A and B are shown apart, each in its own frame.
Chain A
Amino acid sequence: MEDKALIAKLSYLKEIKPKQEWVVLTRQRLLGEKTQGVALPLQKGSFWGMVEGVGRLLAKLERPAFAIPALACLVGGAAVWQGALESLPGDTFYPLRAAVEQVPLRFSTVEERPFREFALAQRRLADLKVIAEQNRVKNLPSAIQEFEANASRISEGFLQIVENQPEKALQASRQMVHLQKEKSEVEKILGTKIGEEQEKEIENATKRLVEYELAYLETRSLTEEQKRLFETAKTTAGQEDYASALETIWKLSQNQNP
């Protein structure tokens, strides 16, 4: 064999290359470990760990090999995020928005949770209103389903407030009344009733709250105006219009210090 042929044959060995994943991983491990050695050790998943991760990603943007995929990820991620924020129940990205909205709920205390559920229910109603106004028929079933699921959790939470935190029940009831009004508006646009089953649960919880408040007010000394409002609330509750009775009680509570 001639030298030239042998050298040419040797060149086949140039095809031996390390696996790209291993190259990238080793690079990260090597340089990452040394960088962390200077700074305080970071816990996985910590905020500063996340910041450092983003920093490293941005640093890699300077390298052409990483620039295009990284930019594509960033642009794609931003587009998905924007899409999720603007999504409505029934849209592709809505599950992402729903998941994000659930985060504050997961970190709330038992006492806070019902109030956060109210806020969520108001968002669901706002979604329903947009869907109804824009006549987005395909989104409607999902939106109603979402609202009903939320309303169901609210009625449970409201009952808990009435039972365990009566001092906060009046505040919750105000939100409840407000929500009921918004719901009526949406129902007018839709031309149909929504969340009828949950409404019964909410009505039941409202009834219990009204009864509790009326019993409490009977033990208190009231001004003339408060006595008048108390009688009105009692009458309305007797007519099983507990929402109106609750509003009157709310007005009475605002007149405690004339």
Chain B
Amino acid sequence: MSEQFGEIYDQYIGKIYRFIILKVESQEVAEDLCSEVFLRVFGEFQKNSIENIQAFLYQVARYTIADYYRKRASMKVVSIEEAGELVEETSSLFEEVMMSVQIEEVRKALGHLRDEYQNLIIWRYLDELSIQEIAQIMGKTEGSVRVGIHRALGALKSQMPASPAGGPSPALNVPV
């Protein structure tokens, strides 16, 4: 049982952590909430069979974040210094700074979106989930997910500054 869950943990810890940290103000909070998510899911995993573990993990993550904000009045965004610490491997100081600027810019814009749009963007463009997988997580039809993603992108675009701080990396594999 533990071994099985260990594999699930290894597969999803990065994604769930990222999902959470994009919605909270600090690394420490993200780590605490992420631990809580896996603890809750593991408890459920031991008691009942979970049909779609990915959908369940994201569902629990959303509830956990909601619980957290229920106790907090407003949402904050992490400082640029803190955002810089989130990037693990960079090849030079210049790249590190540029990456931090880019991350902070996108984070800020994303933070201004409503929660549903944030989720759609994270799932589709960061976690690279299929429309079908997102529909399963949200309990909606694939059609409404497509529409939702389109609207979320539009909302994000309106939040982004007019002149980009840096060009996109040509190596990035972006699902369209």
Contact = CB atoms under 8 A, between A and B. Distances in A.
Interface of A: 1, 3-20, 22-23, 26-27, 29-31, 34-35, 59, 63
A31 B4 CA distance: 10
B66 interface: no
A162 to B, nearest CB: 60
B84 to A, nearest CB: 11
Contact of A22 (B6, B18, B31, B162): B31
A7 B174 CA distance: 7
Interface string B8-47: 0110011001100110000000110011001100100010
B174 A11 contact: yes
A233 B79 CA distance: 91
A73 B87 CA distance: 29
A96 B17 CA distance: 43
Contact of B5 (A17, A18, A31): A31
A97 B105 CA distance: 59
B103 A15 contact: yes
A204 to B, nearest CB: 64
Given A11-B168, A16-B103, A22-B31, A3 B153 contact: yes
A169 B42 CA distance: 65
A67 to B, nearest CB: 14
B164 interface: yes
Contacts of B110: 10, 13
B172 interface: yes
Please give me the 7 A-B residue pairs with the lowest Cβ-Cβ distance, nearest first.
A8-B168, A18-B17, A12-B102, A11-B172, A31-B2, A10-B125, A16-B86
Contact of B6 (A9, A29, A31): A31
Nearest to B30: A18
B129 interface: no
B51 interface: no
B77 interface: no
